[in-house]
Amino acid sequence: MYKLFIRPLLFLVDGERIHHIVFRVLRIQGKIGIQPILRLLFQYNNPKLHRNLFGLTFQNPVGLAAGFDKDAKLIDELSCFGFGFIEIGTLTPQPQPGNDKPRLFRLPLDQALINRMGFNNEGVIASVDRLKKRKSKIIVGGNIGKNKNTPNEKALEDYAYCFEALHRYVDYFVVNVSSPNTPGLRELQEKEPLRKLLSYVKSLSLSKPKPKPILLKIAPDLSTSQLDDIIQILKETKTDGVIATNTSISREGLETGTDELETIGNGGLSGKPLADRSNEVIRYLREKLGKDYPIIGVGGVMSVSDALEKIKAGADLIQVYTGFVYEGPGFVKRINQEIKYWTKFSMK
């Protein structure tokens, strides 16, 4: 029904505008109290789906990826759609508008999106205020970054500010150094700056009476030697987990024509074309980090079989963004039903 009737209508409107309209509808839905109906329709609970990772028990392994609800506006409403966890952010210390519009583009031929949002967000404090009021007990991750005009030499201060502000209100943290849309950000993935950043955030966490898990989110466009450096640093700094991957700057193998791609311009590619590379990275990380290291797989989950592929590649949990946009509100439930069925026959 979503793909046949609703999606064609939604896809007539500019991608970012429709995102805001859907948010408004979801907020109204939250107010008129139809959440129990949505939960009945879209949630799927089964003890076989529970996952224990870095000290947290996830109700199921399918999460909403960062960027969808950057400002924690709809945690309660989105939790009705069957997610096992929701990642908010990327949040920065100060509010910032992000890049000029248009900055979100659909590539229906490729089941993909290109975005260059540029960490548009209302600032971490606005999210903290909302998190204080949330009712749902769903696991929430806080994805943190730096403001556009903060030079990399001062990036640590931005991450520390966000960490301190969010610490009491999220269940785990994600250090995001992999968005292609903030100039210079991905340089923080290089050996020395990354080592410094992760050990600093980890030490902040350990200084708390209740330390929170710290995860690193990485890009899909890293070379094997860069991945090797990251793996070494994850171990050295005792970082609790890794999220692979963010969007890609690659445009390889797309069906969408070169002219259209040129008109769209820069940005991170998400959705189907990202799946193979993301799985390759996950497989490599699993091989090098061992069977017990927590890995969250994200990138190109557009079908239930894509979700299983990610788990087979080595992901403990998965996240969706573009697939949720293309497949609609029943997507998470379908994935969870399949994972439960598959878990019965696998010994993972």
- Piece of the chain touching ligand FMN by CB under 6 A; list 94-102, 162-170, 280-288, 318-326: 318-326
| Position 117 contacts ligand FMN (CB under 6 A) | yes
| Position 130 contacts ligand FMN (CB under 6 A) | no
| Position 313 contacts ligand FMN (CB under 6 A) | no
Listed in sequence order, the DSSP H helices in the chain are 7-10, 15-31, 35-42, 75-78, 124-133, 155-166, 191-206, 224-236, 258-264, 275-289, 304-313, 322-327, 331-345
Which CB sits closer to ligand FMN, 239 or 322?
Answer: 322
Tokens of 34: 């139809």
Neighbouring CB atoms inside 10 A of 135's CB total: 10
CA distance 140 to 96: 22
By CB under 6 A, what part of segment 34-93 binds ligand FMN?
Answer: 65-67, 70, 89-90
Do the beta carbons of residue 114 and residue 88 sit within 8 Å?
no
Do the beta carbons of residue 53 and residue 294 sit within 8 Å?
yes
- Per the residue annotation, which of 79, 127, 178, 179 is the catalytic one? 179
Q: List beta partners, residue 113.
A: 106, 270
Q: Which residue is nearest to ligand FMN (CB)?
A: 67
| Position 301 contacts ligand FMN (CB under 6 A) | yes
CB of 89 to ligand FMN, least distance (A): 6
Which CB sits closer to ligand FMN, 116 or 290?
Answer: 116
By CB under 6 A, what part of segment 244-273 binds ligand FMN?
Answer: 246-247, 270-271
| Position 241 contacts ligand FMN (CB under 6 A) | no
The only residue of 146, 202, 212, 217 in contact with ligand FMN, by rule CB under 6 A:
217
Residue 207 known to be catalytic: no
Task: Kindly write out the interface string for residues 148-187 of this chain, putting x where it contacts ligand FMN by CB under 6 A and - elsewhere.
Answer: ----------------------------x--x--------
Closest CA to 174 of 189, 184, 187, 159: 159
Q: DSSP for 15-78, please give it.
A: HHHHHHHHHHHHHHHHHTT-HHHHHHHH----GGG-EEETTEEESSSEEEPTTTTTT-S-HHHH
How many of the chain's residues bind ligand FMN (CB under 6 A)? 28
Angle between helices 155-166 and 191-206 (to 10 degrees): 30
* Residues near ligand FMN (CB under 6 A): 65-67, 70, 89-90, 104, 113, 115, 117, 119, 143, 176, 179, 217, 246-247, 270-271, 274, 298-301, 320-323
Among all residues, which ones are annotated catalytic? Answer: 179
